A and B are shown apart, each in its own frame.
Chain A
Amino acid sequence: MNAFWETSTFFGIFITLFFYGAGTVLKQKIKHPLMNPMLFAIIFTVVFLRLFGIEYQAYNNSAKYISYLMTPATVCLAVPLYRQLDTLKKYFKAVMFGITSSVIITMLSVLAFARFFGLDRASYVTMLPKSITTPIGIGVAEELGGYMAITVASIVISGILGNIFAETVCNFFGIHEPVAKGIAIGCSSHALGTVKALEMGEVEGAMSSLSIALAGILTVAAASVFATLL
């Protein structure tokens, strides 16, 4: 049976759209933060593949075409950012200060945990780019000699966590300024979190979009310095 799945162009695309669509319909009925259409689709796609013994490669041979839209979609994040140009100009210093701090905090906390767990250098540098956007993160992990597949996994999981819990975390810890929320979300959970930030409001979405670009670029520089510290 795998032979057919491997050659099908639309099977993987279809089940991805189907489960995402089903998740979206369910979300309208069940209004709970954990009822997240994307998470729903990920879980059900995994279950479906396992149930029918379909290899990930066979699924991805088709589903990868969906992900090709990632670059154009990310480029479009310039639109909400441009709409908030005045906000950005007004709070430029706070924005830059927040994003720079986030990169240093990420590096320091990964270093502290790596020391605590006694990780080897390769596992440590694997985790350094965990909060930034996948294409930059892969580049950093490769450059520093980390395990790229695990870096990708950590980036995706950070993004899913941010997407699901951002609103709850911001409320709980008294982060109520839209600019601060957007930066917190973009710096901790990149594009996946940004999707949530855009739902929360346009200022949040714009600041989160900006954070993806700036935190990503700053991490390239910071990670190469921090890689020498373990």
Chain B
Amino acid sequence: MKLFKQFTIIIFLSFLGEVLHTLIPFPIPASIYGIMLLFFLLERKVLRIDDIREVSDFLIFIMPLLFIPPAVGLIDVWDELRASLTAYVTIIIAVTLIVMVATGRITQWFLQNQKEKET
């Protein structure tokens, strides 16, 4: 009964996310509205983590699995990708690396500045 209740809450929030996605004319998906809703409800203490703990732990645990079907779908776009393969592959790899390193370093620099001011 506990798991049933938790699952129902999470599916209801996903549904509310879909409703917001339909009502608001921005390309923001249901899942992002859902995160904001759940975060807001937890922060306002309307929901407690205990109300969704086991099911949310499980869903986050199986998350990598959920990416497998769309990733396997890469085999279907291979022909389209091949047209500008070098450009696409370079951009994907280089930009991912550049963004990760630059964002990490910039955030860390800002944090350390803030910490120094505090001490």
Contact = CB atoms under 8 A, between A and B. Distances in A.
Main secondary structure of the interface of A (DSSP, over half): helix
B91 A162 contact: no
Given A16-B69, A78-B39, A177 B111 contact: yes
Contacts of B104: 170, 173, 175, 180-181, 183-184
A79 B95 contact: no
A152 B103 contact: no
A38 B66 CA distance: 9
Interface string B34-77: 11111100110000010011011001101111111111111111
Contact of A213 (B10, B36, B76, B103): B36
B13 A75 contact: yes
Interface in A88-124: 91, 93-95, 97-99, 101-102, 105-106, 109-110, 113-114, 117, 119, 123
Contacts, number: 305
B23 interface: no
Interface in A1-50: 12, 16-17, 19-20, 37-38, 41-42, 45-46, 49-50
A60 to B, nearest CB: 6
A45 B74 CA distance: 12
B93 A161 contact: yes
Given A59-B72, A75-B38, A105 B103 contact: yes
Contacts of B43: 82, 85
Contacts of B103: 98-99, 101-102, 105, 180, 183-184, 187-188
A56 B77 CA distance: 11
Nearest to B84: A123
A110 B90 CA distance: 10
A150 B66 contact: no
Nearest to A81: B39
Q: Which has the most chain A C-beta neighbours within 10 Å: B28, B30, B34, B64?
A: B64
B10 A75 contact: yes
The 4 closest A-B pairs by CB, nearest first: A139-B27, A184-B104, A98-B107, A135-B29
15 contacts: A17-B65, A49-B72, A66-B66, A67-B67, A78-B36, A101-B106, A110-B95, A113-B87, A133-B32, A143-B27, A149-B76, A188-B100, A192-B64, A213-B32, A216-B32
Given A66-B69, A73-B59, A79-B52, 16 more contacts: A42-B68, A56-B76, A69-B66, A75-B14, A79-B42, A99-B103, A102-B102, A113-B91, A119-B87, A135-B32, A152-B70, A157-B74, A174-B105, A180-B103, A183-B103, A198-B60
